[in-house]
Amino acid sequence: MKAIRVCEFGEPSVLKMENVPDPVPGPGQVLIAVKAAGVNPVDTYIRAGTYAKRPALPYTPGSDAGGVVEAVGAGVTHVRPGDRVYVSGTLTGAYAEKALSEAARVHPLPDRIGFPQAAGIYVPYATAYQSLVHLARARSGDTLLVHGASGGVGGASVQIGRAVGLTVIGTAGTERGRQLVREQGAHHVLDHHAADFAAQVGNVTNGRGPDIILEMLANVNLAKDLQIVAHRGRIVVIGNRGAIEINPRDGMAKDATIQGMLLFNATDDELRRIHAALYAGFENGSLLPVVGSEFRLEDAPKAHEAVMAPGAFGKIVLIP
């Protein structure tokens, strides 16, 4: 089969298409014919060698995919060959024609979700749900600011926020992105680069501020978030690309909480609940991943450049 291989950490050009042997499912494993693979920012940090966890070289990137079950190993009963599925992690990498996953990481795909959309499920939606529901403990009636709503995690956060009855404010850096955020159901849409951003958040929350902020770029926004969050508000740091100076007094004055999160820290029980909630949302139509662009598998280097460029617009996926 064809797969993207990384033999050295570095620039996007280290992503090379190669022929490798087809994986064979062992006990408790599932082989998937990948129809689309999701590209996440973390894939680029790992490829560059700057991420805390470094895979052994060579490796095939990617944790998210939609596809069809090709074969199952001994003891796998919840899916069968021919089933449409999405995966939440792989053993052999998703940027490939086939991927091997542990059975617990293979999930039935509701009919209304296509394969490119399925590749945009795991990291974006599980991160959004874990942050909003399990960590920030969102309750209907809360006001949510999705700070960076035009990309994968942000779009999922807007949709989940709407589905659980929140008032949602979403931000994007371009007009095209803001239009997308509006279409996802955000009640208020703002430009995160606006000079008077804090005042605009005040206007749309009647001066209270958001109860929850899901933050996609904490090194730019955390100090500002502490100033605009509501009394007893919760800020969940999802994305961060550097250091920032904050004034803890801004948080003290509001009994505010800053909560870090890593999807990899989610427990098995949390993951089980996340996938149950996502399945329900995909099935009833309240959740639908937005695919902004599709690249051919061999164009993985271009996809890695695109995912780090400003002007996010939904998910970027690779089609083998």
Q: What's the residue count for the chain?
A: 320
Residue of 29, 40, 117, 184 that binds ligand NAP (CB under 6 A): 40
| Residue 147 sits in the site that holds ligand NAP (CB under 6 A) | yes
Q: Which of 153, 164, 212, 271 binds ligand NAP (CB under 6 A)?
A: 153
How many residues form the binding site for ligand NAP (CB under 6 A)?
Answer: 33
Q: Could you tell me which stretch among 7-15, 27-35, 101-109, 216-224 binds ligand NAP (CB under 6 A)? A: 216-224
In angstroms, what is the minimal distance from the CB of 117 to ligand NAP?
15
Alpha-carbon distance 197 to 159, whole Å?
22
**Stretch of 22-30, 63-71, 170-178, 226-234 contacting ligand NAP, by CB under 6 A:** 170-178
Site string for ligand NAP, 287-316 (x = CB under 6 A): --------------------x--xxx----
Shortest gap between Cβ of 81 and ligand NAP (angstroms)? 31
Among residues 78, 95, 88, 80, which one has the least CA distance to residue 31?
A: 80
* Piece in contact with ligand NAP (CB under 6 A), picked from 11-19, 80-88, 92-100, 142-150: 142-150
| 113, 123, 190, 318: residue in contact with ligand NAP (rule CB under 6 A) | 123
The span of 28-36, 49-57, 87-95, 119-127 binding ligand NAP (CB under 6 A) equals 119-127
**Interface with ligand NAP (CB under 6 A), residue from 14, 238, 258, 303:** 238
Q: Decide: 98 and 37 in contact? Cβ < 8 Å.
A: no
Residues 249-278 as x/- pattern, contact with ligand NAP by CB under 6 A: ------------xxx---------------
Which one, 89 or 148, has the nearer CB to ligand NAP? Answer: 148
Q: Is 239 in the site for ligand NAP (CB under 6 A)?
A: yes
Interface contacts to ligand NAP, rule CB under 6 A? 40-42, 123-124, 127, 147-154, 171-174, 177, 192, 216-217, 220-221, 238-239, 261-263, 307, 310-312
